Structure 1
Amino acid sequence: MKVFTEKRPLKAYLSAIKSEKKSIGFVPTMGALHAGHLSLIEAAQKKNDIVVVSIFVNPTQFDKEEDLVNYPKTYDKDKQMLESIACDVLFYPSVKEIYKDNISSNHFDFDGLEHQMEGKFRDGHFNGVGTIVKTLFEIVKPNVAYFGQKDFQQLQIIKKLVKKHHLNLKIKGCPIYREEDGLAMSSRNVRLNLELRKAAPFIYKTLKKARKKFKTKSAEKVVSWVENKFKKHPLLDLEYFTIADEKTLETLIHKESDKKYRAFIAVFAGDIRLIDNIKLKQS
């Protein structure tokens, strides 16, 4: 595995790869890798000649300083994991390499996608995401980039970014990778103590029950049911639960047969914020 910490030599290396008409798959990460990340890399390996993984904890997408400070950083372990699955290239830049002396976000218009759900609770988050993802795309110039559907809103926003800025690549959304007890894999899970880790699968169990109820009940009743379930939970605090249109991410008011819907949830387990989502069927 080749490791690059600077943009210029990485660009030169990948330019030579492109000149040989080889395809480049790209998996951007913030490190603290787990099996979910590896599933994205393996998906990229199946469809591309070479796979690039980036590890960069992006400061501009954190709305709280303590979240940035507490974000798990496990570079040596991450590097070993990547080597174990024969990853081709790792890009591991410093903050200075990416932002120089100006650690700030550009402003993006994602046609309203950025104002829903996560955007309501994490001020400036998607400007930070847009800034780093666009920067990384311009450095790596991949044919296809791979993202997990756990961050479904982010996935839709990145698709919008590519379309609006006429970037020459495809975005592939991959299924949520879960622990055996259903908890969506996340780098934040390692921060859960034993008690909270035992409680956390309640999130996915509730999502599955909500999916079943959605077939016969209104969105309003399903939302109310979920909110009541979490009010009674001693360890988990619901930040939001919403049912939204998959395409626009706008909150569902009245079901329409030709639209696809998804339930989205954010929960605090202690001070650790967990998100998840599930596709819904109307009948």
Structure 2
Amino acid sequence: MTSSAPSVPLVGSLAELRRRVADWRARGERIGFVPTMGALHDGHLSLVEEARRRAERVVVSVFVNPTQFAANEDFGRYPRMLEADLDRLARVAADLCYAPAVEEMYPPGFSTGVTVGGPAEADLEDRFRPTHFAGVAVVVAKLLNQAEPDIAVFGEKDYQQLLVIRRMARDLDLRAEIVGAPTLREADGLAMSSRNVYLSDEERRVAPALHRALVAAAGRISAGEPIGHVMGEAREEVATAGFAIDYLEARHALTLARIARRQDGPARLLAAARLGATRLIDNIAVEEAR
């Protein structure tokens, strides 16, 4: 149920955002920041709670960024529900919601981009969405410059994106510490995502199979089974469940380089697969054997 008035202060202009942040900083308060595209769920709220543990003030942005969507993607139908988002942010005591218009973020004549390499060229998401990380990088760089936070929290569900943003912030000397927060899941293991609303009832029943396959594969690799064999069987399992797989791979957790043996470094399993028209992504760490 939504309220008739904003439950968290809402600003749409960069000037007002900077005025509020400057007032807090003048009082010696640390600023936390959580960038989102809205359609907030409990996974997003967990990021706000993580920021709250690390800072006195928390700003959440809601901006559906057109530059990270390709022409064949779902920019037009991406869910937008700002009033409900404000009510959810009130539940976790966010201090401010920054929801700029596209014209505020990209005024007429805007012509600057951010070129990203390293983890942005890992042959994972970038293979299927070649312009995506350039769009993410420019909007995140702008938001971090606009809000000037001490810390910014991003979910580990978008793991490659997290590494891209960490690399960009380091390379461009941005002041914010980039914090990764664990993926929040439904009771059956499905990673929370704004796109889950696109799943039909039957697809929603099948969807947790992706996470189950990752968990099983991670356990087998941790126990010493060969990575190539395990990942091949995981792909077969996911395809048999009804997914069309974009990728399901074991990578080095820090660089996203391909790994063939457990000894090659800390491992992360990453997957993207489609159920019908809905594309799901997920990832988990391979724990060290005890």
For the aligned pair, the TM-score class normalised by the smaller chain equals over 0.9
Cα pair 1:211 1:281 within 8 Å, conserved: yes
Query: Is 2:276 aligned against 1:270?
Result: yes
The code of the aligned residue for 2:236 comes to: N
Count of residue pairs the alignment pairs up:
281
Seen in structure 2, the aligned counterparts of structure 1 residues 45 and 231 have a Cα distance that, compared at 3 Å, is closer
Question: Does the C-alpha gap of structure 1 residues 248 and 66 become closer, same or farther in structure 2, counting only changes over 3 Å?
Answer: closer
Q: Does structure 1 retain, via aligned residues, the 8 Å contact 2:37–2:65?
A: yes
**Residue deviations 1:201-234 (CA, integer Å, cap 9, x gap):** 101111111112213222211221012113322x
Identical amino acids, percent of aligned pairs:
35
The alignment's TM-score, normalised by the length of structure 2, stands at 0.93
Comparing 213-222 and 172-181, the one that deviates more: 213-222
Gaps of 5+ in 2: 1-7
Match of 1:207 among 204, 211, 214: 214
Q: Evaluate the alpha carbon distance shift between residue 109 and residue 66 of structure 1 in structure 2; reply closer, same or farther with a 3 A threshold.
A: closer
Query: Aligned pair in 2 of structure 1 residues 73, 103: CA closer, same or farther (>3 Å)?
Result: farther
| Corresponding residue for residue 88 of structure 2 | 81
**Residue of structure 2 in register with 1:22 after alignment:** 29
**Candidates 57, 62, 73, aligned match of 1:55:** 62
Superposed CA RMSD = 1.5
Superposed CA deviations along residues 160-211 of structure 1, whole A, max 9, x for unmatched, are 0111001111111111100000000000011111111111010111111111
Q: Is the 8 A contact 1:119 1:125 kept in 2?
A: yes
Q: 1:42 to 1:163 in 2, by over 3 A?
A: same
**Partners of 2:107 and 2:80 in 1: how far apart?**
21
CA shift for structure 1 position 65: 4.1
Tell me the equivalent position of 2:198: 191
Displacement, 1:255?
3.2
Which segments of 5 or more consecutive residues in structure 1 lack a partner in the other structure? none
The corresponding residue for 2:229 is: 221
Equivalent residue for 1:281, pick from 278, 283, 287: 287
Q: Which one is further off, 185-194 or 98-107?
A: 98-107
Aligned to 1:5: 12
Shift of the 190–104 alpha-carbon distance from structure 1 to 2, 3 Å rule, reads farther
Q: Is the 8 A contact 2:32 2:58 kept in 1?
A: yes
- Give TM-score scaled by structure 1 length: 0.95
Distance of 2:70 and 2:82 partners within structure 1: 23
State the one-letter code of the partner of 1:117.
L
